[in-house]
Amino acid sequence: MDKLRVSTFGGGATQTAAAKLGLYAAEGIEVELDVTQSSKDQMSKLVDGTWDLVHTNADNVVWWCEDNGADLVIVMAAEGRAGQDLWVRPEIETYEDLRGKTLAVDAAESGYVTPLRVLLAQAGLKEGTDYDFVEVGTTHMRVDAMKEGRAFGAMVGSGRDAAADGFRVLDSINRLYTHYASSTATRREWAAANADLLVRYLRAQLKAAASLSDGAGAAPSFSWEGLREMIQTRADVGWLRGAVDPRRFADDTYFARAVEGWGS
């Protein structure tokens, strides 16, 4: 068995399905799965080789490549929805109520904070003048920051805990995108040196994702448009350093090999 060290957010439903259905075993793979609490920790450990692959927000890859000199590449971009809403404490009724307040985020430079900046700018709020960010980590940590009064708003995926505490949705980043892409990334050097192993992992992941969505039809496609829209969002807030070109950060070669003969 070839071993892979993989980091993801949330519960790792696709990885759980892949293991339960024997898809990893069928590809001769054993996966060590980490559920991260921070994108900065996750990405730094990808860069230093602790993790072979990460499932992360594409915006994190862009920031680490452009601003931190990392040589990373997105090898899978799956069409999806952002699924993140701006939740606020009960006393916040409008964007104006966020003026002078702090918002909890995972990382201040990348991830879901990028479209959050768009929402705040559309509402006429300026970072550093009208609001500030406090970095706390993943979703439940952001909700905790609101519970404790350290923050008055945060991007939240599953709002079950937030709703239970009387928090509510002020806005959603879903309206910013026609397309969106969930991403899998690795180091370019590692991908080139482990191409066959990478293809086998992606194939298992795609089959597991299909099983969860009851999808058994056409082969999945690489969401170039989803990546482009996400990168455009980064450009919109003035944080992109180069062209709005997803091919700067992604390579669909391994993905294409993984879907060869799909359904046959």
Dihedral angle, C-alpha 57, 36, 83, 201, nearest 10 °: 60
* pLDDT score for 245: 98
* pLDDT score for 13: 85
Dihedral angle, C-alpha 38, 131, 231, 178, nearest 10 °: 100
* pLDDT score for 214: 67
Number of separate domains in the chain:
2
Strand, helix or coil for residue 248: helix
Report angle CA 97, 237, 95 to the nearest 5 degrees. Answer: 10
Which H helix or E strand runs over 117? helix 113-122
Give per-residue pLDDT as tens, 67-92. 999 999 999 999 988 888 999 999 99
Mean pLDDT of 134-138: 95
Query: What CATH code is carried by the domain that includes residue 115?
Result: 3.40.190.10
Pick from 123, 144, 176: which residue ends a domain?
Answer: 176
Asked if 46 and 71 touch (Cβ cutoff 8 Å), the reply is no
pLDDT band at 264 (very low <50, low <70, confident <90, very high): low
Residues 6+ apart with CB under 8 A from 6: 15, 31, 32, 33, 34, 51, 52, 53, 54, 55, 201
Tell whether 232 and 120 lie within a shared domain: no
* pLDDT score for 149: 95
Say if 264 falls within a structural domain: no
Q: How many CB atoms lie within 10 A of CB 238?
A: 9
Report angle CA 231, 232, 238 to the nearest 5 degrees. Answer: 95
Rounded to whole angstroms, the Cα distance separating 186 from 95 reads 37
Say if 118 falls within a structural domain: yes
Query: Could you give the maximum distance between any two Cα atoms of the chain, in Å?
Result: 58
* pLDDT score for 261: 82
Tell me the pLDDT of the chain averaged across its residues. Answer: 94
Rounded to whole angstroms, the Cα distance separating 101 from 177 reads 26
Which H helix or E strand runs over 53? strand 53-56
pLDDT band at 165 (very low <50, low <70, confident <90, very high): confident
- pTM for this prediction: 0.94
Whether the predicted pLDDT of 132 surpasses 90:
yes
Give per-residue pLDDT as tens, 89-119. 999 999 999 999 999 999 999 999 999 999 9
Give per-residue pLDDT as tens, 186-242. 999 999 999 999 999 999 999 999 988 865 567 899 999 999 999 999 999 999 999
* pLDDT score for 10: 78
| Residue 158 structural domain | 85-176
Pick from 130, 153, 176: which residue ends a domain?
Answer: 176
Say if 246 falls within a structural domain: yes
Tokens 């089959």 belong to: 207
Q: Which residue has the higher pLDDT, 117 or 159?
A: 117
* pLDDT score for 215: 59
Whether the predicted pLDDT of 22 surpasses 70:
yes
Rounded to whole angstroms, the Cα distance separating 113 from 125 reads 14
Rounded to whole angstroms, the Cα distance separating 110 from 117 reads 10
Give per-residue pLDDT as tens, 177-186. 999 999 999 9
Mean pLDDT of 37-42: 96
Tell whether 12 and 45 lie within a shared domain: yes
Rounded to whole angstroms, the Cα distance separating 127 from 226 reads 26
Say if 263 falls within a structural domain: no
Tokens 């450009």 belong to: 235
* pLDDT score for 162: 80
Mean pLDDT of 129-152: 95
Closest Cα to residue 211, out of 223, 203, 199, 222? 203
Q: How many CB atoms lie within 10 A of CB 1?
A: 10
Tell whether 89 and 171 lie within a shared domain: yes
Rounded to whole angstroms, the Cα distance separating 171 from 92 reads 12
